[in-house]
Structure 1
Amino acid sequence: MDIPGLPARRAALNLIDAVLRRGETLDQAGGSALARIKGDADRALARAIAGEVLRWRADLDALIDSATRLPLADDAKARAVLQIMLAQVLRLETPAHAVIATGLPLLMGGPRRLAHGVFSTLTKRAVTLPEVPTLPEPVMERWGIRAETIAAGLAVPPPLDLALRDAAATAEWAERLGGVSLMPGHVRLPRGIAVEHLEGFREGAWWVQDLAASLPARMLGAGEGRSVLDLCAAPGGKTMQLAAAGWKVTALDNAKRRLERLRENLERTALEAEVVLADAFTWEPQEKFDAILLDAPCTATGTSRRHPDVLHRIAPRQIEEMAEIQTRMLARAAEWLKPGGTLVYAVCSLEQEEGEDRAADVELTLAPITAAELPEGLSPTGEGWLRTDPGMLAEAGGLDGFFIARWVKG
């Protein structure tokens, strides 16, 4: 007999396994893991359970180990099931009886009695998780003194940020949507809202874009009809920002499906851009550009608030590979700039190798980022770059981790 809620828990188990064992993203794993689940609510539940396990995995393991006489193997199915069960009780506030009813069947033919005993022991102790998740040791080593502050920003999934087509209407849209604004052209709402049902969606008055992700395009200012190349443009948030700011935009990407989303977003917002499907390493523009925005491919560790899988998937090898791609793309972009043109480089990564180290090698004239261009509470670095991380603006809901730098071609 089918147990209500069991498919969602089984899907969560498969999502976690895909991330930890195969190195897939949650989005990649979702295609197969969620395929048999009926209903958006159960799919969302499976994603939520998996996300909380990945966010708090080290702390969940510490609790499990405190209640077992002999340690479970790191890859033991019983450990994974217990992680899922504890995440529901401690993070999603699921009643213990429902957790047991949908968790133990995942161990059919396995150590169900052991899992039940560990779970019961911990719930009787009324255990809790720390206020701040413990990061995996390799991540702590990479992030060094920044790790504690960053971890504080990962405790909960992020709020919903909207970028407005008309920055002059910021106060109006903040009031209409019941949100707050941290800078012109931005409105922040609580998470969990159905975006397509919000006022202004159908008429394209705004689009979803994390506050930090909106900063690179802002560093180019008003376009006044000048030409800009948005490299790695899909799914289109930066392209729409630039078009709304008066730039003549060429939006280039090598991902066909993501470019289709970009075209749909442009149509919904009634903004214009020339969309180009091409590989940045083989494509050549007919004319050089007044400005180029390179939001480069990266490890995306800065998005760990919403994608906690990156805490477990990314290792030095991936960082090194991305740094090589970024170096090559920066060199290409510099060639395509007009004299006097502006280049903005950005990555949603918290790794120094992808940010500061790449910027230090650029042989253009630095155009320092200023505090006046940023939301209150953010400041440029001493070098004139910008580094954000999830622990910043915590009282306002935080933001993703980005590195941004800007230069002018002499």
Structure 2
Amino acid sequence: MPSPAKPRSSTGRRPADPPGTAPRRAALRVLDAVLRRGEPLEAALPNATRGLEGADRGLAHAIAAETLRRLPDLDALIDSATRQRLPDDAKARMALRVALVQTLALGTPPHAAIATVLPLVDGGPRKLVHGVFGALNRGGAELPEQTSLPPEIAERWGSYWGESVVNAAASAIAAPPPLDLTLAKADGLAPEGTSLAPDHRRIVEAAPVATLAGYDEGAWWVQDVAASLPARLLGAGEGQVLDLCAAPGGKTMQLAAAGWNVTALEIAPSRAARLHENLARTGLPAQVVIADALDWAPAEPLDAILLDAPCSATGIFRRHPDVLYRAHPGIIAEMAALQARLLDRAAAWVRPGGRLVYATCSLEPAEGEEQLARFLTAHPEYAVSPPSPGELPTGIAANEAGYVRTLPGTLADVGGCDGFFIVRLVRASA
């Protein structure tokens, strides 16, 4: 183990950072943005990694994401080697998280991990960081086989879903999930993989997305199999369908490929631009409208509406572990209130006999089961329409109330899926 480098040279100048420090410094900025300021990881990355090339940018992302996956376990190791508990946002704790995750989860040699992390605490407790890291390394520290969830998440989900779901979630977050693709055509060009549903392909060990067969041809798009279920419940159609909160466009493209005349509504111009890009790559038609659904309204009643509503996104924690540290009860309540407003508006736009699909990528009942109960009380003209045989992939089923709830552990034997709540509602005929 190298001795701690001095923060200043004899000339008073700060010594040059060792090679490889820049992506570690960027990872630290990402973690600070997520854990201290509550920013989404993907939103924090561009600023944090500005100036880095592709490989270094990818390393910064990997370090930050893996730290968030294993944060409770990393902190437990740190706490076991310090006399007094370091504050959660202490520079020393943040630096130790970055150093330890590299050696214990990413395969970085200890000397390289500590040499590139010590500059991150320049002007801070370098000796403490070096000493704690060295003690843990010499003691053969390891991360537990079973990943730990943040205690407040484990308690909340345990109260909703039981200990088995908490354990399944802890297993699911241990590694990035497989890559799911939705095919524009059943016989379209696509990489080799397994199929869990019609027009679906799952790839366990994938190359970069843009290099996969069929990408340039627009033959498919990336979409978790659970995220494909809301559009599957609308099936094929030739009528008018509205995709509310549409970006990045996976469900819009599903509906267009199924023959619907699609209007895609999106409030954010930047996200609408991504939607346009995906439509252009796949060659699928849709009218994109940039507007706030709380102010906008369609010119005439619609045959169907798909509302994949803004939510806490706790169901996509496998790909976005940062949500576990951002989706506190206040955010969940705020998102549930917004969903209620969107549902109430959308309910008035569906023609008699038409369908409304409501979905969230959330594991919180306030953004699913409780929202449905409120809606049915407020809108007795609507009733749940359970999925028909063959509409859902094998291993996913609606419950007795007719809605679909995917949880950690769903499809676990084939790689799992995101957590979703999905219900299809039908408006009574006039």
Give TM class, smaller chain.
over 0.9
Q: Find the counterpart in structure 1 of residue 348 from structure 2.
A: 335
- Note the alpha carbon deviations across 1:261-280, whole angstroms, 9 max, x for none: 11121121111111111110
Per the alignment, in what secondary structure is the counterpart of residue 373 of structure 1? coil
Partners in 1 of 2:39 and 2:25 — Cα distance?
17
Aligned runs of 1:132-211 on 2, under 5 Å? Answer: 132-144=146-158, 145=162, 146-167=165-186, 169=187, 173=190, 177-191=191-205, 193-211=207-225
Give, in whole Å, the separation in 2 of the partners of 1:311 and 1:10: 23
Choose which of 112, 117, 120 in structure 1 pairs with 2:131.
117
**Corresponding residue to 1:6 among 21, 33, 37:** 21
Residue 253 in 1 paired to residue 258 in 2?
A: no
CA distance in 2, matches of 1:116, 1:391: 39
CA drift of 1:370 comes to 4.5
SS at 2:371's partner residue?
helix
Deviation at 1:369, TM superposition (A): 2.6
Is 2:287 the partner of 1:298? no
Contact kept, 8 Å, 1:140 with 1:147, in 2: the verdict is yes
CA–CA separation in structure 2 for the residues paired with 1:195 and 1:54: 23
CA–CA distance in 2 between the matches of 1:46 and 1:53? 11
- d(CA) in 2 for partners of 1:280, 1:127: 52
User: Which runs of no fewer than 5 residues in structure 2 stay unpaired?
Assistant: 1-15
Equivalent in the alignment of 1:78: 92
SS of the counterpart of 2:34?
A: helix
What SS does structure 2 have at the residue aligned with 1:132? coil
**1:63 pairs with 2:110:** no
The superposition leaves residues 144-180 of structure 1 with CA deviations (integer Å, 9 ceiling, x where unpaired) of 213222222111111211110012x27x73xxx2221
Change over 3 Å in CA distance of 1:408–1:51 after alignment to 2? same
Correspondence for 2:245 = 232
- Structure 1 residue 191: deviation in Å? 5.0
- Pairwise CA distance, 1:216: 0.7
Could you say if the C-alpha distance between residues 400 and 91 of structure 1 is closer, same or farther in structure 2, counting changes exceeding 3 Å?
same
The TM-score, its normalising length taken from structure 2, stands at: 0.91
Q: Which residue of 2 aligns with 1:105?
A: 119
Structure 2 residue 257 is matched with structure 1 residue 244: yes
Higher deviation after alignment, 375-384 or 86-95: 375-384
Is residue 402 of structure 2 the alignment partner of residue 400 of structure 1?
A: no
| Pairing 1:311–2:330 present | no
Larger of the two Rg values belongs to structure: 2
Higher alpha-carbon deviation: 153-162 or 381-390: 381-390
Give the distance between the partners of 2:391 and 2:218, measured in 1 at CA. 25
**Cα RMSD after superposing both structures:** 1.5
Distance 2:276 2:267 in 1: 14
1:361-392, CA deviations, whole angstroms, 9 ceiling, x for partnerless residues?
Answer: 22311101356322222222221111112432
* Matches for 1:358-369 after TM superposition, within 5 Å: 358-362=371-375, 363=379, 364-369=382-387
Give yes or no for the alignment of 1:277 onto 2:277.
no
For residues 48 and 378 of structure 1, the distance between their equivalents in structure 2, rounded to whole angstroms, comes to: 31
Among candidates 403, 406, 412, match of residue 388 of structure 1? 406
Contact 1:154 1:390 in 2 (8 A): no
Structure 1 segments unaligned to the other structure (5+ residues): none
SS at match of 1:22: coil
Does residue 32 in structure 1 map to residue 47 in structure 2? yes
Q: Deviations over 1:22-61 (max 9, x none)?
A: 1111122112211132x11111111111111111111111
Q: Distance in 2 between matches of 1:231 and 1:103?
A: 45
Q: Counterparts of 2:40 and 2:246 in 1: how far apart (Å)?
A: 20
Residue 18 in structure 1 maps to residue 33 in structure 2: yes
Q: 1:357 aligns with which of 363, 370, 393?
A: 370
SS in 2 for 1:16: helix
The more displaced of 331-340 and 123-132 is: 123-132
Shift of 1:290: 0.8
Deviation, 1:314, is: 1.3
Alignment check: 8 A CA contact 1:158 1:191 kept: no
1:269 maps to a residue whose letter is T
Specify the code of the residue in structure 2 equivalent to 1:278: A
Partner Cα distance (2:366, 2:301) in 1: 29
Conserved 8 A contact 1:182-1:375: yes
Please tell me whether the aligned partners of residues 233 and 253 of structure 1 are also in contact (alpha carbons under 8 angstroms): yes
CA-CA distance at 1:300 after TM superposition = 0.7
Whole-angstrom distance in 2 between the partners of 1:191 and 1:282:
44
> Where do 4+ consecutive residues of structure 1 move more than 3 Å?
none
CA distance in 2, matches of 1:55, 1:253: 31
Query: Contact between 2:362 and 2:419, CA under 8 Å: does it hold in 1?
Result: yes
Cα drift, residue 125 of structure 1: 2.3
Residue aligned with 1:212, SS: coil
Tell me the distance in 2 between the aligned counterparts of 1:277 and 1:370: 34
Task: Determine if contact 2:245/2:264 at 8 Å carries over to the other structure.
Answer: yes
TM-score (normalizing by structure 1): 0.95
**Does the CA contact (< 8 Å) of 1:158 and 1:398 recur in 2?**
yes
Number of corresponding residues: 403
